Amino acid sequence: MSKLLEADTFALFLAAVGLASLAYVCFRHWPRLAGVSWLLVVAFVPYWLGVKILINISPASAVGLLVIAALLPVAFSHVSPADLLVAFLILVAVVALLLGYGTLTTAVLAVVEWGVGYTLGRVMPLRLGVEWVQDTVAVIFTVVAFGAVLEFLSGVNPFVLLAFGDSSYAVWGTLQERGGQLRVEGAFGHSIALGASLALAVPLVLASRFRGWIRIGMVLVIGLASVFTFSRIGIGCVLIGLLLTLVTQARHLAARIRITLLGLLATGAVFAAPLVLRVFAQAGSEATDSSAYRRDLGGLVSQISLFGLSPSAAISPDGTLRFAGFRSIDSAVVLLGLTYGAIAVLTVTALYLAGVACTVTGRATPATVSVVALLPAYLSVALITQYSIFLWFCTGLAVTSQQLRTNGDERARQGVQRRTLTSSYGPRPQLAAGAVGGRSARSGAGETGRTAWVRGNRDHDHA
């Protein structure tokens, strides 16, 4: 019997290797297919359907590694300070493991979730173009939002039917309710993860090249889906992302679009507020208890070490990492400190403040606005399921788009050839294909170097 199981496992391994090899060849030849495939995995493949290689590797991470290999090499104009900060953060996690101040899970998480997501955000727009990435995210996450609306209306989530019965499914594969209402979560395993991911998409939707009325419709569907998460974090971050985009990207949005969105926002608040308030009222003490729970987490700040795991850390028999008896740590900032130390928190804070500086000075691109707008989520929920890798992807996209804008300005002053692209924002200067890094527009491996000059362009259930 054991030999039969070993044969089946080996056969599955060979099938997986063959499928991965075929996917690599296709991705190498059609790089846009690679980008679309990864974003589809993020949006529609549940977190618990991963593979176990020492620890669980999520589908988005596994496919992300394949996509990175297929899209490389790309030519970076120069290494950004943000790249150094992210590299240092990952180094902290790995060194902590080597010195006995971390676990294999925490180190691998930093590499295959944060590192892969950030690298994709840096590589994909350099290979496929920032605006193409924005357009693709806009379409896919509008479909995600539309599916979430259907989930609320039907009361059916088809993704929870994809179960292997493992421990990851036991945590993320159950549906949530609040006040007797289903909290939609799509394939994201949690309503907060869905709401935060939708919020990340809002500025990118508004920056896409679709007609104004289409973008307005996309934002409307995303806003409605965020309401049906019945998550204060999700709803709040969508609103912040929308308002911050209208303020910081005003010169790139037609006045009629801004006025229409503000009108829809006011109208939506009037009609959605009664439903949301009723659900929270029927939930009784659940919402207030979750707020009190998060306040209690503040007491753990004093338990954060300078480097590595907090002394309050304990590993339960099932391998779960706990701190001071808390079942979950619903704060990405606090959990980062408890897991990797104060040095890691300061590193991430510096990265975030760089985005804030770009936003305040009017230099922020849409991806930067996406990352900056999620401050309430960073303080109130851990980086869970696909939301984690998608956030780091948006971070990498923000760094790339900021860098391309700066380089584009420099190249424009030096008289580099440009062409004009007409978009919903109006005519835009754009670098000639292959200008960044001196790569040709096409190669035997597919499209390369097509980068636009962007002008501005389940135990975490407490929210």
How far, in Å, CA of 68 to CA of 24, rounded? 10
The answer to whether the pTM exceeds 0.85 is: yes
User: Where is pLDDT greater, at 117 or 457?
Assistant: 117
Confidence bin at 288 (pLDDT 50/70/90): low
Report the range of poorest mean pLDDT among 2-11, 332-341, 364-373.
2-11
Backbone torsions φ then ψ of 99, nearest 5 degrees: -90, 0
Q: Which residues of 71-92 are buried (b: 16+ CB within 10 A; e: fewer)?
A: beebeebeebebbebbeebbeb
pLDDT of 86-98, one tens digit each?
999 999 999 999 9
Q: From CA 43, how far away is CA 62, in angstroms rounded?
A: 14
Alpha carbon dihedral 414, 207, 445, 17, in 10-degree steps, equals 140
- Residue tagged 């801004």 (tokens): 258
What is the C-alpha to C-alpha distance for residues 253 and 262, in angstroms, rounded to an integer?
Answer: 13
176 vs 461, more confident? 176
Task: Give the per-residue pLDDT at 433.
Answer: 34
402-438 pLDDT per residue, tens: 998 887 644 433 333 333 333 433 334 343 333 333 3
190's CB contacts (< 8 A; 6+ apart) are 172, 176, 384, 385, 458, 460, 461
pLDDT recorded at residue 291: 66
Segment (H or E) for 420: strand 418-423
